[in-house]
Structure 1
Amino acid sequence: MTAPTTVRTVDYHTAGEPFRIVAEGLPPVPGDTVAERCATAIGPGGSGTAPRRGPLDEVRRLLVQEPRGHAGMYGGFVVPPDDDGAHFGVLFWHKDGYSTACGHGTMALGAWAVDSGRVAAPDEGDVQVRIDVPSGRVAATVHRAQGRTTGVTFRNVPARVGARKVPVATTLGIAEVDIAHAGACYASVRARDLGLEVTRAALPELVRAGREIRAALATHPATWHPDGPLLSGVYGVVLHEELPDTPFGPHQRNVTVFADGQIDRSPCGSGTSARLALLAEDGRLGPGEDLLHESVTGTVFTGRIFADGVTEVTGTAYRTGDHAFTADPYDALGAGFLL
């Protein structure tokens, strides 16, 4: 194990989805931008879900794998921003590697930056935390009342629709899949088209369907991003179902299956952005209307979209602990394992 002997983290959860923040003690990550540093972390010939081994990835593996983490863990390495227009940058990671966008992580980082004093904030009112991520510059507006953080609004890079009603064969039948880019590429499918409901009991089937759809779309041209391979390819599959509309707009429940079968416990921030773009194109979400987006765990985000494709997603993020993880050189398990 070449990672530091001790790695210190601050952990948050956003709507139930964990986010483990590493702000110091990292090995050098060469690059002039966060996107270049992400490419460095992935390594030559690697991919977002199959990075090359290296000092930084040893830290990721240590923190995401058991017994220090778990297959549903998510986190980020805080790195320098692209320029002084942002407060900091971040490299998002999960059990399989790295991602180019993460809405729930951006919300957690905004809360952490304010709660830790890294970004000054009023006791009453809002403050914007600007963050460079591999897909561009995003912002977390942190809402404050009575000296505490009460919520965070994530403003994403512009979202756009890639393709509609792409037929995909799965073991549960043919699904018509919509593709949208929102910092990462997401495929959306109605769960009922596969005979499924978005429930905890159906998670094994939902995960299987998500993995099959992601694999089937691996070479589909609509998953390609003009900025290159780092932003291309399906990152997550959003399996969703309709709930009764609210007075403010549509109401949906989803489970997002990302990377290699990982389940988002939150409604998925970037995935919500992708859903907003699709709903807007369908004419189901107009100016002044909100999507109430519910997760399989029952937590919610509220999302809206503007004329330029920029989306905003609001949720809550709470600190869950501070940790000093140790890697004993005599530990035969090393960085750990995944089940």
Structure 2
Amino acid sequence: MRSLQTLSIVGCHAEGEVGDVIIGGIVNVPGKTMYEKMVHMQTHKDHVRNLVLNEPRGRLAMNTNLVLPPCNPEADVGFLIMESEEWAPMSGSNTICTTTVLLETGMLEMKEPTTHLKLDTAAGLVGVQAECEGGKCKSVTFDNVPAFVDKLDLQVDVPDLGTVTVDIAWGGMWLAICDAASVGLEVRKEHAKKLVDIGERIKTAVQKLYTPTHPENPGIRGVSTISFTEPLIEEGDRKVALNTVIVSPGRHDRSPCGTGTSARMAVLHVRGLLSIGQTFVHRSLIGSEFQCSITDTTRVGERNAVLSRVKGRAWITSHKQIVLDPEDPYPEGFRVGD
């Protein structure tokens, strides 16, 4: 069968969040940096994102990653992240998925018991440590790009909801962070639909009111996701909390969200609630966990920032090829809003 596009993909999920990995079908992308490559794909080849993420080939609750040669000479490999509404500069769950696929398929050499890698992302260089045993990637720990607070206690007027207080922080993506109880909700499955509906409304109001801009890359701007949080709980010498991140156009991140976790740790540190080296366990709506900590502080431009470390697990779920029949009436797929 003739195909206008043939992509070889390894299916994968990290703590419940799907992050499939394209390992063949796209040789390279123009650009001197991974950020420039991301912009090129977003501007000129966004049909690839639509092809793999929209129905009938994909679905709303998934992401897909594109492995590419790195631009940064320190990196072992580069990758770009496709989400339903955007090309994301960085994603923790997708970093864990991509690392697992690279090692378990043999694209990069697995060294037991520990493999060290550096990944080139559109947000910057990310260090990775994979614990490996018997050919299996047992866990992935990544040192994220620096995370920092942009605004605390931003007051946002939300139609039919009133004034809502959010924190704005960067953790590889721009997030608005909102206490779930402040809008009468809990991070529970029985509140899942309300969390999505209210989360999208708050995010839209934030986008109309305020646009954060990354101090080192003005092209990275604007809140794209919102995190609903529960209070910290003390468990021995560690701190634990629930959260759920609402991803446009309206769904829950099934994992605890790596960029959201880094952003939240930055907020907690500024508020004096999380110390350097203290273990922070972040849980998702489905109960999956990331084991996290702040390893140090740094500066991003004129801003105080934290260096965050996040650990999670991923599992390969499938090997597949996506093709595009020349007569297919839906070359970029479709959505039906359900």
User: TM-score by structure 2 length?
Assistant: 0.91
- Structure 2 vs 1, CA of residues 248 and 231 (structure 1 numbering), >3 Å: closer, same or farther? farther
Query: Counterparts in 2 of 1:300-315, with a 5 A limit?
Result: 300-308=289-297, 309-315=306-312
Please provide the CA RMSD for this pair: 1.9
Q: Which amino acid aligns with 2:131?
A: H
- Quote the residue 2:37 is aligned against: 37
Deviation, 1:28, is 4.9
Query: Any gaps of 5 or more consecutive residues in structure 1?
Result: 44-53
- Kept in 2, the 8 Å contact 1:276–1:285? The answer is yes
- Kept in 1, the 8 Å contact 2:4–2:325? The answer is no
- Whether 2:247 is the aligned partner of 1:223: answer no
Alignment deviations for residues 12-47 of structure 1 (CA, whole Å, 9 cap, x no partner): 10000001111221265211110111111222xxxx
SS at match of 1:10: strand
- Quote the residue 2:255 is aligned against: 266
Worse overlay, 90-99 or 8-17: 90-99
Distance, in Å, in 1 between the alignment partners of 2:115 and 2:27 is 31
- Quote the residue 1:12 is aligned against: 12
Distance, in Å, in 2 between the alignment partners of 1:220 and 1:129 is 40
Q: Select which of 119, 127, 131 maps to 1:139.
A: 127
- Quote the residue 2:157 is aligned against: 169
- Whether 2:173 is the aligned partner of 1:184: answer yes
Deviation, 1:183, is 1.5
User: TM-score by structure 1 length?
Assistant: 0.91
Deviation, 1:290, is 1.3
Alignment deviations for residues 240-285 of structure 1 (CA, whole Å, 9 cap, x no partner): 1126321132211111012332321100011000011111112111
- Quote the residue 1:84 is aligned against: 73
Q: Select which of 156, 159, 166 maps to 2:144.
A: 156
Deviation, 1:3, is 8.0
Runs of 4+ in 1 over 6 A off after TM superposition: none
SS at match of 2:207: coil
Alignment deviations for residues 75-94 of structure 1 (CA, whole Å, 9 cap, x no partner): 11112211331011111111
Distance, in Å, in 2 between the alignment partners of 1:23 and 1:248 is 41
Q: Which amino acid aligns with 1:153?
A: T
Q: Select which of 327, 332, 335 maps to 2:329.
A: 332
Q: Number of aligned pairs?
A: 326
Query: Counterparts in 2 of 1:278-297, with a 5 A limit?
Result: 278-297=267-286
Query: Any gaps of 5 or more consecutive residues in structure 2?
Result: 298-305
- Whether 2:95 is the aligned partner of 1:103: answer no
SS at match of 1:201: helix
- Structure 2 vs 1, CA of residues 3 and 287 (structure 1 numbering), >3 Å: closer, same or farther? farther
The sequence identity of aligned pairs, in percent, is 30
- Kept in 1, the 8 Å contact 2:110–2:135? The answer is no
Q: Which amino acid aligns with 1:18?
A: V
- Kept in 2, the 8 Å contact 1:183–1:231? The answer is no
Query: Counterparts in 2 of 1:174-253, with a 5 A limit?
Result: 174-218=163-207, 220=209, 223-242=212-231, 244-253=233-242
- Kept in 2, the 8 Å contact 1:12–1:317? The answer is yes
SS at match of 1:338: coil
Distance, in Å, in 1 between the alignment partners of 2:17 and 2:132 is 21
Distance, in Å, in 2 between the alignment partners of 1:203 and 1:110 is 30
- Quote the residue 1:51 is aligned against: none
- Whether 2:244 is the aligned partner of 1:255: answer yes
Distance, in Å, in 2 between the alignment partners of 1:259 and 1:132 is 25
Distance, in Å, in 1 between the alignment partners of 2:74 and 2:109 is 16
SS at match of 1:310: strand
Distance, in Å, in 1 between the alignment partners of 2:116 and 2:3 is 33
Worse overlay, 221-230 or 154-163: 221-230
SS at match of 2:185: coil
- Kept in 2, the 8 Å contact 1:110–1:141? The answer is no
